[in-house]
Chains A and B, each alone.
Chain A
Amino acid sequence: MLRLENIIKDFGGLRVLDSLSLQVGEGLIFGLIGPNGAGKTTLFNIISGLSRPTAGRVIFNGTDITHLPPSSIAACGMGRTFQNIRIFKELSLLENVLAGMHRLFTYSPVAMLLNLPVQKREEKALREKALEILELFHLAGKAKRQAESLSYGEQRKLELARALATSPKLLLVDEPAAGMNPAETEELMGEIVQINNRGYTICLIEHDMKFVMGVCRQVAVLNFGELIALGSPQEVKCNPLVIEAYLGKEECK
């Protein structure tokens, strides 16, 4: 589904990603882990078009998206969330999700001005769908509230809901559990699996190992911009390179 070919990214003289090749298969929950500064978020930025690789190609569903702008990449079916939550704070929860559905709306400016049936129909249908998505994250009851009023963990969930609203084929999730308490994390794991069961492929960055080991089917480990391990959570966990670079000894049991 997603194929990265020899991605190189330099920031000035610093090589953050070094000839990275990786494949994410359809239907997976794919985990991307590694120490801080390993280049995980940089990789997400390259995949979603926010930053350009110095060399290499990003192939998504057979299309070369390396040089497309973010909005076109989103239109190809790529959704994402951000490490430092970027919800639309002054909009309501419902408006956040509806903004995420932007590309699912098709009515023209003329339909907007004349209140044509096509507008009413789309607005009604997608509003219902938006509430369904919010419900998935137990947020539907707060649909009319301002996004800013949510707790930190809820804001993360709202961002996930908004990304899901774009109807993505692949969902890039950057540290979904950061700042969540254990109960929230537990709940989130269930939600991630549920989203995956609905047919969305998910690629996530996460530092919470319990989370990664619990939901991911395949895990890739980055260290200083290089792929040092790839495999099932169990394989990766006991890989000596990974233990040395990132996990420490206790994790492999």
Chain B
Amino acid sequence: MTEFLMSFWQTYNTLFYTVLVHGMLALSIYITLACGQLSLGNAAFMGIGAYTAALFTLKLNAPFGLSLLAGGMLPAFVALIIGVPTLRLSGVYLAMATLGFGEVVRVVFLNMSITGGSVGLNGVPPKTELWHLLLVMGVLIYFFLKLKNSRFGRALEAIREDEVAAAVMGIKTTSFKVWAFVIGAFIAGVAGGLNAHFTFFLSPREYGFDFAVDILTFAILGGTGTFWGPLVGSTILTILPEMLRFLGSYRLALNGLILVLVVVYLPNGIITVKKKD
């Protein structure tokens, strides 16, 4: 029995790690969705975090904690620069700006020598252990639980529901939107740093538009009414392709079919919050 568990863990530990990292990314987009903003830059923020953390480890021999912190801070700072001008406007401007931004980041990674160009970065030391991921996820869940029924959480929800009305209530809408975006970028960056230290290898292709859409799908599938939704969505979408492996080349088709069914029958996502009527 123990032997079976050991070999199971040997086979699937990377999958479990990936589930946790994807969960963090789902939360990173959830916080912007919570105030009605769509960020398509979270894959790029993850990439910036991954490269920054990996370079801190490789070039500066920095302790793991410091690498991760740097991996969170740089994307957060970049988000501040993008967020301040775009989030002053209401509407889809953040989605547009981050869409372009993701492409810029990918091209920059491809062309800088310090990031290894198209070859990427090889040989990032495997420093991420299970407890690191569980600790970060634990902290995030704690944060979102506390946020939920606080004045800050209510302000985000109010902005999502009606930005004009929220402003008239005295809620500083722009600064809340910027904070949510910056915190999301920080979370995505830390997730990227953690990811880099167990995949050994980084390439610019991993952080492109496709993955930005994947992150959005995590949140939409799970439901964006509460932060549990994105966590459930990311877990399902990470495990599902593995469970369908026996189908061989049909698995992507079935994967897609399941997505379509969920969207048709549960338009608000798998986790739907229902208030008393």
Contacts and interface: CB of A to CB of B under 8 A. Distances in A.
Nearest to A92: B275
A71 B171 contact: yes
Interface in B127-156: 142-143, 146-147, 149-152, 154-155
A102 B146 contact: no
B146 A107 contact: no
A91 B158 contact: yes
B172 interface: yes
Contact of B165 (A69, A87, A144): A87
A100 B165 CA distance: 9
Given A90-B161, A91-B158, A109-B152, A99 B146 contact: no
Given A92-B275, A102-B154, A109-B152, A86 B164 contact: yes
B146 A115 contact: yes
A88 B276 contact: no
Given A80-B168, A86-B162, A144 B275 contact: yes
Main secondary structure on chain A at its contact with chain B?
mixed
A175 interface: no
Interface string B75-103: 00000000000000000000000000000
A166 B150 contact: no
A99 B277 contact: no
A89 B162 CA distance: 9
B166 interface: yes
A21 to B, nearest CB: 24
B173 interface: yes
Name the residue in A88, A98, A162, A166 with the highest tally of chain B Cβ atoms < 10 Å from its Cβ: A88
A124 interface: no
B164 A75 contact: no
Interface in A67-92: 69-71, 74-75, 79-80, 82, 86-92
Given A103-B171, A146-B277, 15 more contacts: A70-B167, A70-B168, A71-B167, A71-B171, A74-B167, A91-B157, A92-B275, A99-B158, A99-B171, A102-B171, A113-B146, A123-B149, A123-B150, A144-B275, A145-B275
